Amino acid sequence: MKAVKHRLLKGKRIVPKPIPKNVSVTNLVDEYFQAYNAGRLREGCQLFSNKMLASDSTVGMSLTGALTPAGLGGSCVVPLMKAGFVDWIVSTGANLYHDTHFAIGRSLHRGTPFTDDRLLRKEGIIRIYDIVFEYDVLLSTDAFFRKLLRLPEFQKEMGTAELHYRLGKYIALREKVLGIKHSSLIATAYRCGVPVYTSSPGDSSIGMNIAEVALNGSRIRLDVLLDVNETAALVLDAKRKGGKSGVLIIGGGSPKNFMLQTEPQIQEVLGIDEKGHDYFLQVTDARPDTGGLSGATPGEAVTWGKVDPDKLPDAVVAYVDSTIALPILTSYALARRKPRRLKRLYDRRGELIAALYKEHKKAVARKRT
C-alpha cells in the first residue's frame, strides 16, 4: 500500500513561495500555476512545447471567438506561424475578416461594454463587447475584399485554402505599401505556406462579399468538399511519415469539429486504417454537460475515432478565456522551443490529396475481396 500511496503523491510538491519581481512567463507558468485551470494551462503549455512541437509533429490550430479584433492574430497566431509552430489552420471567416482591418490601416479601439448601444448606433460606432470602431471600417474592408474578388484569378472554383492564399498575397502587398510591420494572419500564412481553411465560408463578412460579387456575375465558387479531403490529407501525411498529429483548439464551434473530423473522414468514410490524433490541447469556456461540440472532451472524441485512445494522457483541456490563455501559451512556447522548419503544407496539397486517394482506393479494393 505504501507503493500505491507513493504513486498517488508523485506530483510536484506545492510550495507557496512568493512570486518574484519581473518573473518570466515560463517561470510563472511552471512554478506558480499550481492547480485548477491554472494547472491545466500549465499542463497545456508543457504539452504544446515538450511534445506537440517535436520535429515530427504536424500541428493544426482552430480559431473561434472574436480573437483578431482583440489583436491576437498579430500578437499570437502570426509569431506561432513564423516560428513553424502552427502548420495548418481552421478559422471562422470572421477572424480572418476582422484581422484584415489592421492590414489595410484601419483602427480598432479599447472601449467599454457598458456604453448605451443606441448611442453607438446613432454615432456609427460598432461594438464587439469592449472593442469599438467606426462603421466605415466595415465598409472599407468590404470594398477592399470585393475589389480583390473581382480580379481574374478569382474567377474559378477553389477551396478556401486557395482563396485565403490568393487573398493573402494582396493583403501582404497592401501591408508593404502602408508600411505596416505587424503582419496579418492571412498575409503571414501566405508567406509561410500555411493553409488556412474556413469550415463555414458563407458565415462571415468575407463570405457575404463573395456572395455580392457572385450576384453580380463573378464566376468564383468555393469547393467546401475539397477542404474536407485536403484537411484529411494533411493529417494522413503526418501519420504516414511516422510522425504525429496534434490539434491546438482555441475555442470550439465549427472549426473545432472541422479539424477533428479529419480522422473520422480518414477512418470511417474513406476506410483507411488509422487511430486518431496524437495530441489534443483545447482552451475553452464551454461546459461539456450541455452536449455541445464546443465543450466535448477528448475522451468523448476518442469514441468517434478523433483522438487515439492510446494517447489520451496527452490531452489537456483548460477552461480559460482564450484572450488570457493564448498570449501565455504563445510566450511560453517561443521561450521554450527553437523555431521549427516551415512545413509549407499549402504547396503540397495536390500531392497529399493524390496520396489520400491512393490509400482510399486500396481500402475499397481490400473491402471487396
Active site residue 306: yes
Report residue 88's pLDDT band, with 50, 70 and 90 as the boundaries. very high
Element containing residue 131 per DSSP (H, E)? strand 131-134
Is 353 inside any structural domain?
A: yes
Is 14 inside any structural domain?
A: no
Q: What is the mean pLDDT of the chain?
A: 95
Cβ atoms of 283 and 251 closer than 8 Å: yes
Cβ atoms of 154 and 217 closer than 8 Å: no
Mean pLDDT, to the nearest integer, of 96-125? Answer: 96
Residues 6 or more apart whose Cβ sits within 8 Å of residue 259: 60, 62, 90, 231, 247, 249
Is 81 inside any structural domain?
A: yes
Mean pLDDT, to the nearest integer, of 174-190? Answer: 93
Residue 8 has pLDDT above 70, yes or no: yes
**Nearest partner of 103 among 163, 177, 161, 165, judged by Cα:** 177
Q: Cβ-count burial of 29 within 10 angstroms (0-12 exposed, 13-18 middle, 19+ buried)?
A: buried
Alpha-carbon span 272 to 266, nearest angstrom: 6
Mean pLDDT, to the nearest integer, of 330-358? Answer: 97
Residues in a beta bridge with 282: 249, 317
pLDDT given at position 2: 64
- How many domains does the structure of the chain reveal? 1
Is 62 inside any structural domain?
A: yes
pLDDT given at position 18: 96
Mean pLDDT, to the nearest integer, of 61-88? Answer: 97
Interval 270-300: pLDDT, tens: 999 999 999 999 999 988 888 888 888 888 8
pLDDT given at position 332: 98
Is 38 inside any structural domain?
A: no
**Nearest partner of 99 among 29, 183, 212, judged by Cα:** 183
pLDDT given at position 4: 64
Give the cell for residue 102.
489592421
Is 234 inside any structural domain?
A: yes
pLDDT given at position 1: 63
pLDDT given at position 320: 96
DSSP structure class, residue 182:
S
Interval 226-250: pLDDT, tens: 999 999 999 999 999 899 999 999 9
Residue 221 has pLDDT above 80, yes or no: yes
Is 265 inside any structural domain?
A: yes
Q: Outline where 197-339 has alpha helix (H).
A: 205-215, 224-240, 253-260, 262-264, 298-303, 322-336
pLDDT given at position 144: 98
Q: How many CB atoms lie within 10 A of CB 167?
A: 24
Residue 3 has pLDDT above 70, yes or no: no
pLDDT given at position 300: 87
Residue 81 has pLDDT above 90, yes or no: yes
**Nearest partner of 209 among 135, 142, 141, judged by Cα:** 142
Q: How many CB atoms lie within 10 A of CB 233?
A: 25
Annotated active-site residue in 306, 311, 338, 361: 306
**Nearest partner of 109 among 136, 160, 69, judged by Cα:** 69
223-226 long-range Cβ contacts below 8 angstroms, 24+ apart: 223/157, 223/158, 223/159, 224/159, 224/160, 224/199, 226/158, 226/159
**Nearest partner of 101 among 63, 79, 69, judged by Cα:** 69
Residue 198 has pLDDT above 70, yes or no: yes
41-50, 87-96, 174-183: segment of lowest average pLDDT: 174-183
57-63 and 244-250 beta bridge pairing: parallel
Task: Give the end-to-end CA distance of the chain in Å, rounded to a whole number.
Answer: 54
3-class state of residue 174 by DSSP: helix
Report residue 5's pLDDT band, with 50, 70 and 90 as the boundaries. low
CA atoms within 13 A on the CB side of 360: 16
pLDDT given at position 314: 87
Cβ atoms of 185 and 73 closer than 8 Å: yes
The whole domain housing 115 covers: 47-368
340 alpha carbon, distance to own chain's centre:
18
Residues in a beta bridge with 221: 157
Give the CATH number, domain containing residue 362: 3.40.910.10
pLDDT given at position 183: 83
pLDDT given at position 337: 97
Cβ atoms of 276 and 300 closer than 8 Å: no
Interval 255-271: pLDDT, tens: 999 999 999 999 999 99
Is 8 inside any structural domain?
A: no
